[in-house]
């Protein structure tokens, strides 16, 4: 058994549970310095589970971060909630953080892909957004009406009967995800940890397909669109210019809409980067971590030094203008899965 698999199976870090006031359970996993590290709530995307966060353990540990991932209802061992809404997600996470970190505790938010939709829902809650220090979104998914904002697969999907949208799509995307487990390179950029990745996927489907089917409905629904207003804490949005799942035009429009709503938001366009390498590539991960802390220049330099990575090859600096078009390294990964 490899070290990463042993880590995923370690109850000190994974498959923990919190019981909410109504009796429902939220399962979660956490990595890094879980005793005194800077708390970060990670909202992951489609077809994965909280166990995926363990791929980032050593990176988080080196940089004094405590990254917590909570399984959505129906994922892992979190109680499935047939009528759940994204409004309710803010209520659930409020209770969760009060229990795990303490009442009124502050937190940083990190959301990738469809996890970005969950983060935007948290920021849209007047009470919850007061406890957010800063937010980093990575290729965030948000349904925006208009052909130029949606990829071809999305346009085709919307024409299918509802039963296909909610049932067939998760199976299709799961197959695609299995062939592009690039998130595993958080731990080892040289190879995919197949056994560990299998555990992550199995936990995601421990209760069957219902949880992911529900997430698909959120992704395709015009009524579940959340746009926060007047956020004081900064929001930084990274997006890959080669992303075929969340188009560049969609992210640029999201940034415009957030600015229109008086949010403190900036965007960073990452050249030759797709939906997965925006997070999985080690140089990109350095900048993501530094962005979570806030002092991007000095913190990124420290992280790069600790990892033995040339900082000159990492993501562009946080821009002063709305969107940074700076070039980046040529790392690519498959554009499928991990929505």
pLDDT digits (tens, 9 = 90+) for 152-161: 556 555 555 5
**Of 289, 278, 232, residue with least CA distance to 251:** 278
- Kindly report the number of other CB atoms within 10 A of residue 103's CB atom: 9
What pLDDT score does 73 carry?
A: 98
For position 166, what pLDDT does the model report?
54
3-state secondary structure string, 2-38? CHHHHHHCCCCCCCEEEECCCCCEEEEEEEECCCCCE
205 DSSP assignment: T
Instruction: Tell me the domain boundaries of the chain.
Output: 3-324
The CATH architecture of the domain made up of 3-324 is 3-Layer(aba) Sandwich (3.40)
pLDDT of 245-287, one tens digit each?
A: 888 999 999 999 999 999 999 999 988 888 888 777 777 777 8
Q: How far apart are CA 183 and CA 189, in angstroms?
A: 9
In the prediction, which pLDDT does 167 show? 55
pLDDT score at 283: 79
Per-residue model confidence as pLDDT tens digits over 15-56: 999 999 999 999 999 999 999 899 999 999 988 999 999 988
């Amino acid at each position: 058994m490899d070290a990463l698999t042993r880590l995923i199976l370690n109850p000190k870090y994974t498959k923990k549970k919190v019981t909410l006031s109504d009796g429902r359970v939220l399962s979660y996993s956490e990595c890094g310095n879980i005793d005194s590290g800077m708390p970060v709530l990670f909202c992951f995307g489609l077809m994965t589970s909280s166990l995926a966060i363990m791929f980032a353990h050593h990176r988080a540990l080196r940089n004094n971060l405590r990254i917590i991932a909570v399984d959505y209802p129906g994922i892992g061992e979190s109680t499935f909630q047939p009528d759940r809404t994204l409004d309710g997600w803010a209520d659930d996470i409020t209770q969760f953080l009060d229990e795990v970190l303490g009442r009124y505790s502050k937190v940083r938010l990190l959301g990738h892909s469809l996890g970005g939709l969950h983060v935007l829902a948290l920021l849209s809650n007047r009470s919850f957004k007061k406890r957010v220090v800063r937010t980093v979104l990575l290729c965030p998914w948000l349904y925006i009406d208009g052909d130029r904002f949606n990829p071809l697969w999305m346009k085709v999907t919307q024409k299918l009967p509802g039963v296909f949208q909610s049932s067939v799509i998760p199976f299709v995307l799961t197959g695609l995800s299995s062939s592009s487990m690039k998130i595993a390179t958080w731990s080892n950029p040289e190879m995919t940890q197949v056994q560990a990745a299998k555990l992550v996927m199995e936990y995601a489907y421990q209760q069957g397909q219902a949880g992911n089917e529900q997430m698909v409905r959120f992704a395709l629904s015009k009524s579940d669109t959340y746009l926060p207003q007047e956020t004081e804490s900064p929001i930084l949005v990274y997006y890959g210019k080669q992303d075929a799942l969340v188009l560049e035009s969609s992210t640029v429009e999201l940034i415009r809409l957030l600015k229109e709503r008086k949010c403190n938001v900036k965007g960073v366009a990452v050249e030759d980067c797709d939906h997965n390498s925006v997070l999985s590539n080690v140089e990109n991960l350095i900048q993501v971590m530094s962005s979570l802390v806030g002092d991007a220049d000095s913190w990124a330099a420290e992280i790069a030094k600790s990892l033995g990575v040339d900082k000159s090859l990492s993501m562009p600096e946080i821009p002063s203008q709305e969107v940074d078009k700076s070039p980046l390294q040529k790392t690519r990964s498959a554009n499928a899965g991990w929505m």
